[in-house]
Structure 1
Amino acid sequence: MHPIRLSIPSFRSENSSVEKGFTVFKIDVLVNGRLHSVEKRYSEFHALHKILKKSIKPPEIPSKHVRNWVPKVLEQRRHGLELYLQTVIMENEVLPKIFLDFLNVRHFPSVPKTESCGSFDTESLESSKLSHQPVVVYLRDPYLLPSAHDTFSNVVIEGVVDGVFYPDFQPR
């Protein structure tokens, strides 16, 4: 499961003196526990789709042409666009940068869906500009959502919990 979730909870119509009017879709984006919203027109979804087709195989996007602008038809388009974005997330282990930019997501971890990032290597550490390297990366909270296939014991978690809740405890 990606650490990014989204929904399109609503839309609104805009009337412009220059154009005949358009619909704006509100996208709620939840990334690593932080929620933000962006608003996009259908034309922006369509432009994204055209660019995504060059690098991945995106799902079908709802039709560009809508016969009428009644709320029922717009609700179907809202649902279709929400499903489109969610499918892109579910079917791609690494999300394209253009997709993250579309959602206004910054500092997204570009780590594959694995539990570890490798071993600690002091030679590469000295040659890199980073002052540290992660050894283990959790894409979910292992304490709140334990899994039967966890490869690491809960000793670390138990130690941290004991240290936080029982700081005066002395092991025998």
Structure 2
Amino acid sequence: MPPISVSIPSFRLENNHIERGYTVFRIDVLINGRQHVVEKRYSEFHSLHKRLKKSIKPPEIPSKHVRNWVPKVLEQRRHGLELYLQTIIMENEVLPKIFLDFLNIRHFPSLPKTESCGSLDTDSTESSKLSHQPIMVFLKDPYLLPDPHGLSGTFPNVVIEGVVRGVFYTDLQPR
């Protein structure tokens, strides 16, 4: 199961006196057990599609030209847009930042399928990739799981001691 799942369970029609009516699609985003809702118009999907074509090969997007007020057509568009988002997630090893921004996903370092927030240079695709590597990885939580080798307590204390020394004894660090 991917760390991000999306669905478009519903849509609503918006009418106001300033501009012509339009449809708003509700996107449910589930990421690492947390859910939030994003609402987007079709024009925002279309803009995302044009921007994604610069970095990946996105799937086909539902047609731009439909009669907006026919419920059956709107339901087909809702389903097509849902499939569009799900296909992008499933087919891409690294999800582009513009896609994550579209879904209002800001900073989730535990996701394996994301790029970094990037640098200020947005023209270069190389500069938008995270170049840092983790220096320590725990395969199990050392505080919760018993150590079968009898070393429990040794390693976590070293980590805590290092942090305490780094915070409180900064004058002892080499210059």
Q: Does 1:111 align with 2:112?
A: yes
Q: What is the deviation of 1:134?
A: 3.9
1:93 alignment partner in structure 2: 93
SS for the counterpart of 1:37 is: strand
Q: What is the deviation of 1:2?
A: 2.5
Q: State the alpha-carbon separation in 2 of the partners of residues 133 and 37 from structure 1.
A: 34
2:40 alignment partner in structure 1: 40
Alignment of 1:106-145 (within 5 A): 106-109=106-109, 111=112, 133-136=135-138
Q: State the alpha-carbon separation in 2 of the partners of residues 88 and 67 from structure 1.
A: 26
Q: State the alpha-carbon separation in 1 of the partners of residues 8 and 76 from structure 2.
A: 12
Q: TM-score, normalised by structure 2?
A: 0.65
Q: What is the deviation of 1:160?
A: 4.0
Q: State the alpha-carbon separation in 1 of the partners of residues 113 and 10 from structure 2.
A: 31
Q: What is the deviation of 1:68?
A: 4.8
Identity of aligned residues (%): 73
SS for the counterpart of 1:88 is: helix
Q: Is the 8 A contact 2:23 2:68 kept in 1?
A: no
Q: TM-score, normalised by structure 1?
A: 0.66
The unaligned stretches of length 5 or more in structure 2 are 115-131, 148-175
Using CA pairs below 8 Å that are at least 6 residues apart, which structure has the higher relative contact order?
1
Q: What is the deviation of 1:111?
A: 3.0
Q: What is the deviation of 1:20?
A: 1.5
Q: Cα deviation per residue 1:52-87 (whole Å; 9 max; x = unaligned)?
A: 000000000000000352111100000000000000
Dislocated runs of 4+, deviation >2 Å: 108-113, 159-163
1:67 alignment partner in structure 2: 67
The unaligned stretches of length 5 or more in structure 1 are 114-128, 138-155, 164-172
> Size of the alignment, in residue pairs?
129
Letter of the 2:75 partner, please give it. Answer: E
Change (3 A) 1:134 1:42: farther
Q: State the alpha-carbon separation in 1 of the partners of residues 137 and 113 from structure 2.
A: 14
1:81 alignment partner in structure 2: 81
Q: State the alpha-carbon separation in 2 of the partners of residues 68 and 8 from structure 1.
A: 17
Change (3 A) 1:11 1:135: same
